[in-house]
Structure 1
Amino acid sequence: MSDELVLYTNPMSRGRIARWMLEEVGVPYRTEILHFGTTMKGDTYRSVNPMGKVPSITHGKTVVTECAAICAYLADVFPQAGFAPAPSKRADYYRWMFFAAGPLEAAISNRVLGFEVPKERERMVGYGTYQDVMDTLEAAVRANAYIAGDTFSAADVYVGSQLGYGLRFGTIEKRAAFEQYFGRLALREAYQRANDKDNAAAAELQNAG
């Protein structure tokens, strides 16, 4: 597909996940850096994402928001990159991609905000308990080299990003299995390129401010 790809992001945001996926896919893209509270909430960007949140991508006239969706979309639209399993082998790929977007994200967010689900209400929330989520994720990353088997996929970009951020900032327990899994991912050239680009963009913003 020849339509222009544009990444709308801020280097101090979940936009780093989308950047990593774009670098893995290896296709040309343009970056639009948005500022919290100003351009990110302006009418121009809200025409792309009414939530006024990043990241988003546009691909020609197609708009994709939400990090997990962006990762899955790019894997599907650029199949030559090989980051989505064959449809008949996507059970674990879907399972862990959506586990990270649902139970993991919610459990971490609530923990950071200081909200603990009352024991008698645990069945009302999708993740049950933070401990259940951590134990389930640990078992998953122990099982194989990558989250959906023996081959790196877009699900690793999303799950790995969550783990990398959580380990760095203390929102995820520093278990050996988590550190070993993310350590493998952090060696990837695309991850390092993406990280370098976002670090440079963050430095530019800081200098400009």
Structure 2
Amino acid sequence: MPDTLVLYTNPMSRGRIARWMLEETGAPYRTEILEYGTSMKAPEYLAINPMGKVPAIRHGDQVVTECAAICAYLADAFPEVGLAPPPDERSAYYRWLFFAAGPLEAAITDRDLGLEPDAEQQGRVGYGTYAAVIDTLERAVTAGGYIVGERFTAADVYVGAHIGWGLQFGTIDDRQAFRDYWARVSEREAYRRANAMDDEAMQ
């Protein structure tokens, strides 16, 4: 496999999102599986991601961390695949990609940790309330076939992964709109390939 595109991951991590996105591009890449507490914290990997977390990708001399950034970067790096709208049509694309990376993930994480803000604190957190975030997400996934209309994009990889994970582990409300959306995006061959690869890597 060529070294021009490398995925640093662990199959029990958000690296599954990055692998799904890589499979959507169709570009050849090499995978390095890192272990928690050991190779993830080794000096060699800390030089790539000082946080000592996965996923990360290296593309030539470019290094990208953070799943939303990886999805956006790969969509731009391989424009021929059409995983990002044209630049003058990206307002909703950016909105929902980073809504999932910001308000959605923060609201889900806080609620899972029992840290839901009270009425006074809601004005100090970016998401306000968990209920507002989930209601907003439901409206977004019912507005069209995909998160930005009738066209699948990198934003669907990221938003879809959050919804699929949330439904599986009970961290988001089990609503029919979420089930329908997840059914659409998880039918993609790239998702199935990526999921099978990570499942195999866990054995």
Q: Give TM-score, length-normalised by structure 2.
A: 0.98
Alignment of 1:90-109 (within 5 A): 90-109=90-109
Q: Distance in 2 between matches of 1:81 and 1:74?
A: 10
Which letter does structure 2 place at the counterpart of 1:84?
Answer: A
- SS of corresponding position for 1:119: coil
2:201 match:
201
2:31 match:
31
Alignment of 1:156-195 (within 5 A): 156-195=156-195
- SS of corresponding position for 1:182: helix
2:141 match:
141
- SS of corresponding position for 2:8: strand
1:113 match:
113
Report whether the alignment pairs 1:75 with 2:75.
yes
Aligned partners of 2:3 and 2:30 also within 8 Å = no
Which letter does structure 2 place at the counterpart of 1:128?
Answer: G
Q: Distance in 2 between matches of 1:157 and 1:21?
A: 6
Superposition deviation, residue 168 in structure 1 = 0.2
2:151 match:
151
Which letter does structure 2 place at the counterpart of 1:102?
Answer: G
Superposition deviation, residue 60 in structure 1 = 0.9
Q: Distance in 2 between matches of 1:121 and 1:199?
A: 40
Q: Distance in 1 between matches of 2:135 and 2:75?
A: 28
Alignment of 1:15-94 (within 5 A): 15-94=15-94
- SS of corresponding position for 1:8: strand
Which letter does structure 1 place at the counterpart of 2:177?
Answer: A
- What is the aligned-residue RMSD (CA, Å)? 0.9
Q: Distance in 2 between matches of 1:168 and 1:111?
A: 16
Superposition deviation, residue 162 in structure 1 = 0.5
What residue ranges of structure 2 are gaps of 5+ in the alignment?
A: none
Superposition deviation, residue 3 in structure 1 = 6.8
Residues 127-181 of structure 1: per-residue CA shift (max 9 Å, x gap): 0000000000000001000001110000000000000001000001110000000
1:129 match:
129
Aligned partners of 2:3 and 2:29 also within 8 Å = no
Superposition deviation, residue 120 in structure 1 = 1.2
Q: Distance in 2 between matches of 1:185 and 1:116?
A: 30
Aligned partners of 2:14 and 2:54 also within 8 Å = yes
What residue ranges of structure 1 are gaps of 5+ in the alignment?
A: 204-209
Q: Distance in 1 between matches of 2:116 and 2:193?
A: 37
Q: Distance in 1 between matches of 2:47 and 2:36?
A: 16
Superposition deviation, residue 125 in structure 1 = 0.4
Which letter does structure 2 place at the counterpart of 1:192?
Answer: R
Report the count of equivalent residues. 202
